[in-house]
Amino acid sequence: MSASILDGIKVAEKVRELVASDVSEWVQKGNRAPKLQVVLVGSNPASHSYVNAKTKACNEVGVESDTLVLPDTISHNELEEVIYSYNADINTDGILVQLPLPTHIPQLAAIEAIDHRKDVDGFHPMNVGRLTIGQPSFKPCPPAGILELLDYYSIPTKGKHAVVIGASNIVGTPMSVLLSRESGGAKSTVTICHKFTRDITRHTIDADILIVAAGSPGLITGPMVKEGVVVIDVGINRVADHNREKGYRLTGDCDFDSVSKKASWITPVPGGVGPMTVAMLMKNTLLAAKKSLYPGK
Ligand code: BQF
């Protein structure tokens, strides 16, 4: 078999078009445009490029955005005060604190400082908890984007064996919850593998759907997967490439050449989950503006 491509660039564009038309309807009704406040701490080049991708998407769909860049010398108390001011600002619908934060700032404390009703990344424990019990919540963008991609290509998930590699709070854990839930989820049977899993091939070889979010380039190779598997590669690794202008290229956690020979579907890197992640942020920001998840609160 030779895999078909799950085209994240194309599907993200469709998602953005839908959001753009919903935004314009919302504004036509007399509401102000949704507003996303981005807080970016320090000078990590990858973080700056992610924030650029997000503000560009905002422009495209008619979401207003503002980026506050703070020095990495800021204390966690100062950062939290900044977040509180956006919580209190009635013109701010969504607040996004770009991760990772410098190591002296406790990440969870910063996330918990965000009003959960403005937490468009879906990282606040209120949203994580509600997601886990199947209640309306902001869904983390990467897993939400992956489900959107599977849905767009009509890939069956009910009763399938989904294997998730990586158990991070941002991708692996919420992904496994969304895949496994019977209502509002993908209705799959889920295995989670992580750094203590012995013999991961024993699990990957049995996957109907394989979600790889390990942050380890080339971790998954052809011999580790079953013929016909659907592969979602969430890895975004910068590897040195002197033939490229920037001196690096992006590569996933899968050895694309060998895995794509056996898979039925596969996401490319770049151009797979990444663009979907950014598009889902637009969806969440519109939801935040409409206050539809947490009405009356
Ligand atoms: C693409 C992210 C690791 C750590 C923190 C498009 C993005 C990436 C790739 C993007 C990511 C990864 C983001 C592509 C946001 C996804 O064409 O393949 C878009 O902007 N992402 C982030 O904000 O923080 C991260 C990965």
Instruction: Give me ligand 1 centre to Cα 261, in Å.
Output: 26
Residue range 78-97, pLDDT digits in tens: 999 999 999 999 999 999 99
| Tokens describing residue 108 | 């969870």
Q: Whose CA is nearest to atom 13 of ligand 1?
A: 50
d(Cα 4, Cα 78) in Å, to the nearest integer? 48
CA distances from 214 to 44, 140, 159, 172, 233 (A): 21, 17, 24, 9, 9
Q: What is the architecture, at CATH level 2, of domain 29-120?
A: 3-Layer(aba) Sandwich (3.40)
Centroid of ligand 1 to alpha carbon of 176 (angstroms) = 20
Rounded to a whole number of angstroms, the distance between the first and last alpha carbons of the chain is 52
Q: What is the pLDDT of residues 195-236, one digit of tens each?
A: 999 999 999 999 999 999 999 999 999 999 999 999 999 999
What is the fold, at CATH topology level, of the domain defined by 141-275?
Rossmann fold (3.40.50)
Which of the residues are catalytic?
54, 98, 121
**What residues does ligand 1 touch, defined as CB less than 6 Å away?**
50, 53, 99, 236, 269-271, 274-275, 277-278
pTM of the model: 0.98
Say how far apart CA 253 and CA 56 lie, in whole Å: 26
Which mutation among 6, 111, 277, 280 tests ligand 1's pocket best, with the greatest number of atoms within 8 A of CB? 277
Tell me the C-alpha distance between 265 and 153, whole Å: 10
Distance CA 71, CA 207 (A): 44
Of 107, 120, 246, 278, the one to substitute when testing ligand 1's pocket (max ligand atoms within 8 A of C-beta) is 278
Find the mean pLDDT for residues 124-152.
98
Predicted confidence (pLDDT) per residue in 236-290, tens digit: 999 999 999 999 999 999 999 999 999 999 999 999 999 999 999 999 999 999 9
Q: What's the CA-to-centroid distance between 235 and ligand 1, angstroms? A: 9
Hey, where are the domains in the chain?
29-120, 141-275
Q: How far apart are CA 26 and CA 18, in angstroms?
A: 12
In the predicted structure, residue 177 carries a pLDDT above the cut 90: yes
Nearest-CA residue for ligand 1 atom 7 is 274
Same topology, domains 29-120 and 141-275? Answer is yes
The phi and psi torsions of 231 (rounded to 5 degrees) equal -115, 125
What is the DSSP track for 125-162? HHHHHHHHTT-S-PPPHHHHHHHHHHHHTT---TT-EE
